[in-house]
Structure 1
């Protein structure tokens, strides 16, 4: 009986020792597997960081938006670079002391995507479009928009009296709403000009080919000089068909403020 008891006890000790050896053999394998998984995570993380380098303003739909703000306390004049190609929209807004400029690019090319640059010179805000990598993109006609992509420049400015506003685009429409400026120059080589509620002592609006619309609540304050090379004039209800040249060849009103509205081909319309 005693021999049987000792035999059973010895067998139990032997089985217990084998279990401990199996457990120790498995542990290094689990640790190695853990190290491999940690290493495998890093390439994925690095890839995400590379993707994050892309400008957050660029969308997968092929569009980009640049928005910049500037304190307008010392700004009395506004200019858009004369080599800009695209549409312009400008409007005065209450309850703001900043100028907000937004450039929308509808057909982005990652290598030549234009960007918005704001600078100041003697209380004048200058808005221009530059191509990354080009030292002076605005020094020639193609540099500011080499692919002639669809650009829309929007300027929201504080409500106050300005000294001078100059809006020039080589090709595109210009829309103006609620402006108060001593003098204003608004020109496009090809596009429409649309002005509403503009208070100015001297306005010069020109389009090489496009319609010009001017809406005012105080027509009696203006003298309108209008001309179109091919089109008609509609001045405060008076219609003049097919004028001879794109220089002002018709005058209406006798107010102190002068508005010169001329186009090479298109309608000139002044209405209340």
Structure 2
């Protein structure tokens, strides 16, 4: 049995948009024609690929597996065509890498920057997400690699710990900050809660204020708006922030995740090598 190329094309475009109307428009098809191709593909594979929910389409587990297959095939084809055209010694192509904003900007981008400068035909699509969004980003093939501050421990997903973020309590060196007010990224940010949970002595009641992202937190601390629990490597160079002593060490693993697969492109292997070699340097205190 062979998967229909037209069906696979209809599927991948629909999976990319999760919108039948938009996918049909992108492919120059009527919505009816696209739906027919998807229905035929599901019949051939004897699986359901999408679930219709009030907010739109959602990939089933079978759909997620097919999307990873389609993405892998596309990468293999791109690499083969590039090599056949006489570029076997060069690297080219795109890798999509998702991560949370602080580590993406302070660790992942600088770790890969020298590699990207040396290989101008390589493109890394850096994507910033909320921490809780990242597992779904990987499952739905919106990124080939994701970076989280915890281990997912999921079957068929490989994990590489790039280093550890050590968290500390910080406050302004210039202003007298409220000692019961802690600045966080947003309501889903649990760094402060988990930090104090790991301490032998809890501070008791404290208030929270949200600053949008980790760099907003740093600005807020510098301005004396409150204290914060921060990754130490982000604030060591600032003379406007000081560490509040008296807390036990608390660390989280900066972890790279990607699916196990029978083949990895040369580009994927090189990106993994670069991250494992260079990222730890940016996490050192």
**Which category of TM-score, normalised to the shorter sequence, fits these structures?**
under 0.3
Report the TM-score, using the length of structure 1 for normalisation: 0.24
**Which is richer in strand?**
1
| Larger RCO (CA under 8 A, 6+ residues apart) | 2
TM-score (norm 2): 0.24
Higher helix share goes to which structure? 2
